[in-house]
Structure 1
Amino acid sequence: MDPIYRALIVCTNHTDYPTKSHKTGLWLSEATHFYDELADRNLPYDIASPEGGFIPIDEKSRDRRDTVDEKWYNNPTFRHKLEHSLRLDEVNPDEYQIIYLAGGHGTMWDFPENQVLQTLTRRIYEKGGMVAAVCHGVSGLLNVKLSDGSLLIANRQITGFSTMEEKLMRLDDEVPFLLEDALRQKNALYSKSLIPFLPHIEVDERLITGQNPLSARKVGQKVMEEMYEK
């Protein structure tokens, strides 16, 4: 029998850009496409956020006709977990073997300096669990330190939303920093797809990252492969 793993999907609570009128939040497909891969194995999961409770959805991510988004957004259990997320400081890391940081621009404000998120990530990783993140969710890994004081991402193969993609979306002046630059400054071995917005993932042992929304499913696939097929 397959072992029973449990996954923690972490999402943002942040909605506001400095000057743009439209709202940000979770990029919905980064949660649904990832979870769609876990659902094939009936993997138990929880959804958490820095403040708990309602997770805002980036308006622009709801504009797309996406059958996987519709399937899970209209699934009563998944929707309830999105609207009543656990607060990060209520989460017991010992219950999870997978932590996944979903993206959306909102994460750039409430993930990087969140020490509870850093501790959860470190503890799940150090007990042999899997750490995964996609797009702007990778910002939550920037400041994760291991017990020996070293940065989790230093000298590790990493990807995340690129500066070119940020400029093409015309949001490079809205975000508090550029993720690609920040990853490089932390000595991560950053790489990206040659063409913006195409799927791209990096796997460095138990650390799996995806570049952009279209990478979320590939991250989920790789997490399942690493957990079950090794």
Structure 2
Amino acid sequence: MMKKILLVVTNVDQYASGYLKTGLWLSELTHIYHAAKELGWQMAIASPKGGNTPVDPESLKPLVLDGISKKYYENPEFMDELAHTKSLDAVKNESFDCIYLAGGHATMYDFPDNITLQTMLRDQYENSKMVAAICHGVGGLLNVKLSDGEYMIKDKNITGFDWFEETLARRKNEVPFNLEAALKERGVHYKKAFIPMTSNVVVDGHLITGQNPFSSKEMAKVVVRELEK
């Protein structure tokens, strides 16, 4: 059955310090994109402001640039899509089977406080439709409140990039907040992989979260599996 997915990406290209570049972590988009494309599903790529989505240069390094991501990075049509994303305002009234928040440190700046994104995620969740987020994209769930005023993620099983992984990524002094601590403040049941930087995907009803870039492949499989149920 044909499904329709909204893939949400960032517009931010550097940390607040201005010293380092950031952006979308490529594999966190390409694996779900590839899986949906193979199935002939409909997809839209949107960002808070619309327009260009910068790719984090760290996600293009040989150790992390897997075959699928490399293929899409070298595909002019796909890269053109990233250069001309729709704005969230342009898609906010459309209906999607899944809203998927791709990560990258950049999302910590333009996802958490975006009111349009919060409203879309609340409506999606309250209509029992899938909300999925990976790595730092999980930060986009932090401030979503349901109609009853409770945080959407309260008491949910959730994962996301943990603080030790931030140390390993050497970004502790660059990031605007500690994602793991922020999630715990919202009263989530935080679930992390036993070994840092290994795949971990957590499903809680129609809420699906992935811990880090190494969860990209499994995340795509789980989202597809859950949508096909």
Cα deviations across residues 146-181 of structure 1 (Å, max 9, x unaligned)? 122221100000000000000111111111110000
Q: Distance in 2 between matches of 1:66 and 1:219?
A: 15
Q: Distance in 1 between matches of 2:185 and 2:192?
A: 16
Contact 1:29 1:69 in 2 (8 A): yes
Match of 1:33 among 31, 34, 42: 31
Cα deviations across residues 11-70 of structure 1 (Å, max 9, x unaligned)? 111112233633100001110012222122111101011110000000111123421112
Q: Distance in 1 between matches of 2:163 and 2:93?
A: 32
- Say which is worse superposed, 78-87 or 96-105, in terms of deviation: 78-87
Q: Distance in 2 between matches of 1:112 and 1:188?
A: 16
Cα deviations across residues 173-229 of structure 1 (Å, max 9, x unaligned)? 11111000000000011010011100001100000000000112211111111111x
The residue type equivalent to 1:117 in the other structure is L
Q: Using a 3 Å threshold, how does the CA distance of structure 1 residues 173 and 206 change in structure 2: closer, same or farther?
A: same
The residue type equivalent to 1:34 in the other structure is I
The residue type equivalent to 1:6 in the other structure is K
Q: Distance in 1 between matches of 2:102 and 2:166?
A: 17
What TM-score comes out, normalization by structure 1 length?
0.94
Contact 2:92 2:116 in 1 (8 A): no
Q: Over the residues paired in the alignment, what is the CA RMSD in angstroms? A: 1.3
Q: Map residues 1-230 of structure 1 onto 2, 5 A cutoff.
A: 2=1, 4-19=2-17, 21-64=19-62, 65-228=65-228, 230=229
The residue type equivalent to 1:124 in the other structure is Q
**Displacement of 1:137 after TM fit?**
0.2
Moved over 4 A (4+): none
- Say which is worse superposed, 214-223 or 138-147, in terms of deviation: 214-223
Contact 1:93 1:123 in 2 (8 A): no
Cα deviations across residues 113-137 of structure 1 (Å, max 9, x unaligned)? 1111111111122222110000000
- Say which is worse superposed, 95-104 or 214-223, in terms of deviation: 214-223
Q: Distance in 1 between matches of 2:217 and 2:168?
A: 22
Q: Distance in 1 between matches of 2:223 and 2:88?
A: 22
Cα deviations across residues 93-122 of structure 1 (Å, max 9, x unaligned)? 442111000000000111111111111111
What TM-score comes out, normalization by structure 2 length?
0.95
Aligned-pair identity (%): 47
Q: Give the total of aligned pairs.
A: 227
- Say which is worse superposed, 78-87 or 196-205, in terms of deviation: 78-87
* Structure 1: 5+ residue stretches without partners: none
Q: Distance in 1 between matches of 2:168 and 2:196?
A: 9
